[in-house]
Amino acid sequence: MHEPTDALAAPRFTGIRTFARLPHLPEIDGADAAIFGMPWDGGTSFRSGARFGPEAIRSASALLRPYNPAQRQMVFGHLSCVDAGDAPTVPGYIEETLTRIEAYAAGIIAQGAVPIGLGGDHSVALAELRAVAKQHGPVAYVQVDAHHDLWDSYNGKPYNHGTFAKRAIEEGLIDPARSFQGGQRGSLYGPEDYEVAAELGIELVPWLDLRSWTPEHFGEHIRDRVGDAPLFLSFDIDFVDPGLCPGTGTPEIGGPTGEQALDLVRALRGVNLVGADVVEVAPQYDSPGQHTALMAANVVYELLTLLAIAKA
C-alpha cells in the first residue's frame, strides 16, 4: 500500500515535492492510481505558462490529508497511490509531445493504475484520451471548462488546446452520445460556436444554465448519460471564476466558486472513472498564495476520492 509521508512525523515543508507527498514511483508498483505531470504549454493560444502547472500543483498539495470528510471517505491508506513523475515533452513540437505523453500514460494503464494527469495546457488531454481509448475503446467523456475546445483549427493548424476535443471525436476516442461538456461561458466568435457541439453529438450545457443545477441533479444527469461506460473526466481550472483562480491562460469572468466546482465533482460518485486530469494551471498569473494551484490540488484529491469510493 503506497501512502503519503506522515505529516505528524515529518513536517510538510520537508522532502522532495510529489503530489500529496506520495512516493515517487515511476514504475507504479501495484498502485491503484498514479498521478503524473504533463509540463506542456505549446498548444496555448493566449497566455503561456502551464508548463509549470504540475510543479505548482504538487507544491500546493502538501497540505492534503488522508480522510475526506465531505465524502466521508478515507482516501490515502484505502487507495494505493503514487506520483509517477512527469511525461516527456518536446518544446515547440506538439505532435511529438502528444505521442510521448500518450506512451507515458499508456505505460501507467498497462501496469493497472488509473492515470490522473496534471497539466499542462488542455491539448494534453488528446494524448491521454488516445492512451485510454486503446485500453477501453471509445470512452464516455465529461469536461468542465469555460471553453468547449471544439474549434476546428487555430491559425490554420489542427492541434491546439482549443481544438483537441474535436480531434478526439474525429479519432473515435470518445463516444459523444455518452459525453458531456459543462460550464462554458464568455464571448464567442458567433452562435455557431456552441451549435457545433450538437452537430458532433456531444451535450453542452453553458454555465448560464449549469449554474441553476444542484450537484445532485448534475450527478444524476451524468450517471444517466454515461451509464456504466468507462469515463474520462477532464477539469480545466478556468472553469472556476478567475476571482478565485486567476492562474490560467484564458480566464473567463463569471464562473463558479470553488465550493460549487468541488460539489459538482463530488456528485459523480458511482461513475466508472478510468482516467482524469486537471489542466491549464499557469502559476505565473496566480496570487501570492497560489490559490489556483491549491484549487487544482484539491480537485485531484476529489478525483482520487471517487476512485476510493468505487473501491470501497
- pLDDT tens digit at each of 312 positions of the chain: 776 666 666 666 657 788 887 888 888 888 999 999 999 999 999 999 999 999 999 999 999 999 999 999 999 989 999 999 999 999 999 999 999 999 999 999 999 999 999 999 999 999 999 999 999 999 999 999 999 999 888 888 888 998 899 999 999 999 999 999 999 999 998 888 899 999 999 999 999 999 999 999 999 999 999 999 999 999 999 999 999 999 999 999 999 999 999 999 999 999 999 999 999 999 999 989 999 999 999 999 999 999 999 997
- Euclidean distance between CA atoms 61 and 94, whole angstroms: 28
Domain ranges of the chain: 19-311
Q: How far is CA 269 from CA 25, 174, 223, 304, 306, in A?
A: 28, 21, 9, 11, 6
pLDDT confidence of residue 24: 85
Grid cell for residue 211: 449554474
pLDDT confidence of residue 10: 60
What is the longest distance spanned by two Cα atoms in the chain? 57
**CATH code reported for the domain at 19-311:** 3.40.800.10
CB–CB of 246/285 below 8 Å? yes
pLDDT confidence of residue 223: 98
Residues contacting residue 252 through CB under 8 Å, at least 6 positions apart: 146, 147, 185, 186, 238, 242
Residue 263's CB: how many other CB atoms inside 10 A? Answer: 18
pLDDT confidence of residue 16: 77
pLDDT confidence of residue 4: 67
pLDDT confidence of residue 312: 76
Mapped onto helix, strand or coil, the DSSP state of residue 280 is: coil
Task: Please name which of 76, 234, 253, 12 lies closest in space to residue 141, comparing C-alpha atoms.
Answer: 234
pLDDT confidence of residue 215: 98
Grid cell for residue 150: 471544439
